[in-house]
């Protein structure tokens, strides 16, 4: 993979990871339209570490408070005594559904579910679901009002993001709005919830890539670094946007992109599974050693 390609993919990852338009979809669509081939699920997961680092930096003070509150709550045997400790537990428990489903569906996520037909359908369907939720949402609660039930429900919404094209940011934002959270609060919680889920997924795939006999270190470094920088800008921009505006623009974008993709597939301009094997070879030319290969 050329460094220019890695930089472009990192930019796409950083921007689309936090907007409710699906980073996986764009990392699958853009290389195909540019004739580069799919970079592979493993490469996409690893450069997500850049966006995880962006969340950690941007919300560093909040995450530190959560960690301290979690430790104090456990030591004092009052794990849900403060808002910070409750949110810390909500984030941890909310990560369980996507962790379980990710392990169960790992092979499908890396292969058949990356079909452009699946991605186009996910873009459209989940976009329309977001539009419906926006229409009925109360927009009255903040993250301080959240309960354990809320945390688990949003965690289940996050598990839907395993379907390429659905968007982890989009599904968790939809879940938060469904529970009556204000848009900015739903987005803020979505960002915090992304840390363990995307961080563990990225480290898991990084271990596999490093176990391979050959992997493209410069491409990984450039892609991850660009994703980090663009991710910080995307976080700040989305929070500022949602203070005064709805998610309608993202709904329209998702539906139009999904419809355009279906049109290209119908015309045979692009193939639903084209480039998957070639892209996987880009990310990790040799199979990982050990039983996971």
Q: DSSP string covering 216-255, please?
A: -HHHHHHHHHHHHHHHHHHHHHHHHHHTT--SHHHHHHHH
275 Rama class: left (phi>0) / alpha (psi -120 to 50) / beta? left
Q: What is the mean pLDDT of each run of 10 residues along the chain (293 residues)?
A: 90 94 88 82 82 93 94 92 94 94 83 86 96 95 95 96 92 97 96 89 73 73 95 96 95 96 90 60 37 35
Q: Phi and psi of 141, rounded to 5°?
A: -105, 160
pLDDT value at position 211? Answer: 67
pLDDT value at position 89? Answer: 96
What is the SS3 assignment for 28? helix
Q: How far is 285 from 293, CA to CA, in rounded Å?
A: 12
Report DSSP state, residue 203: H
Q: How far is 141 from 122, CA to CA, in rounded Å?
A: 28
Q: Is the separation of the CB atoms in 70 and 90 below 8 Å?
A: no
Q: Phi and psi of 292, rounded to 5°?
A: -75, -10
Closest CA to 285 of 219, 221, 227, 222: 219
pLDDT value at position 275? Answer: 56
pLDDT value at position 40? Answer: 75
Q: How many helices (H) and strands (E) does the chain have?
A: 14, 0
pLDDT value at position 201? Answer: 77
pLDDT value at position 2? Answer: 84
Lookup: tokens for 271: 């193939």
Q: Give the other-Cβ count within 10 Å of 71's Cβ.
A: 12
Q: What is the pTM of this model?
A: 0.85
Total length of the chain: 293
Residues 6+ apart with CB under 8 A from 171: 126, 157, 158, 160, 161
Q: Is the separation of the CB atoms in 260 and 123 below 8 Å?
A: no
35 Rama class: left (phi>0) / alpha (psi -120 to 50) / beta? left
- Per-domain residue ranges of the chain: 3-282
Q: How far is 179 from 28, CA to CA, in rounded Å?
A: 31
Mutual orientation of helices 96-104 and 148-159 as an angle, nearest 10°? 30
If 0-12 CB within 10 Å is exposed, 13-18 middle and 19+ buried, where does residue 240 land? exposed
């Amino acid at each position: 993979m050329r460094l220019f390609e890695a930089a472009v993919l990192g930019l796409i990852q950083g921007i689309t990871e936090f907007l409710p338009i699906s980073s996986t979809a764009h990392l699958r669509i853009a290389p195909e339209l540019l004739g580069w081939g799919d970079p592979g699920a493993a490469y996409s997961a690893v450069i997500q570490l850049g966006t995880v680092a962006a969340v950690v930096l941007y919300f560093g003070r909040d995450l530190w408070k959560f960690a301290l509150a979690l430790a104090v709550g456990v030591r004092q045997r009052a794990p849900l005594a403060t808002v910070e400790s409750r949110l810390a537990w909500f984030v941890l428990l909310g990560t369980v559904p996507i962790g379980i489903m990710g392990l169960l569906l790992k092979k499908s996520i890396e292969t058949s579910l990356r079909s452009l037909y699946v991605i186009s359908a996910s873009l459209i369907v989940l976009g329309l679901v977001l539009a419906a939720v926006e229409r009925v949402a109360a927009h009255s609660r903040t993250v301080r009002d959240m309960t354990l039930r809320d945390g688990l429900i949003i965690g289940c919404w996050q598990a839907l993001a395993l379907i390429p094209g659905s968007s982890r940011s989009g599904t968790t934002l939809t879940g938060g709005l469904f529970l009556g959270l204000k848009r900015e609060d739903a987005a803020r919680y979505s960002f915090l919830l992304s840390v363990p889920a995307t961080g563990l997924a990225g480290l898991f795939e990084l271990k596999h890539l490093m176990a391979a006999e050959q992997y493209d270190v410069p491409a990984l470094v450039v892609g991850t670094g660009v994703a980090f920088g663009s991710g910080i800008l995307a976080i700040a921009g989305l929070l500022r946007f949602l203070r005064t505006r709805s998610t309608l623009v993202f709904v329209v974008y998702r539906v139009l992109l999904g419809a355009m993709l279906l049109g290209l597939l119908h015309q045979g301009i692009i193939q639903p599974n084209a480039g998957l094997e070639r892209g996987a070879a880009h990310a990790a030319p040799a199979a990982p050693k050990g039983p996971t290969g």
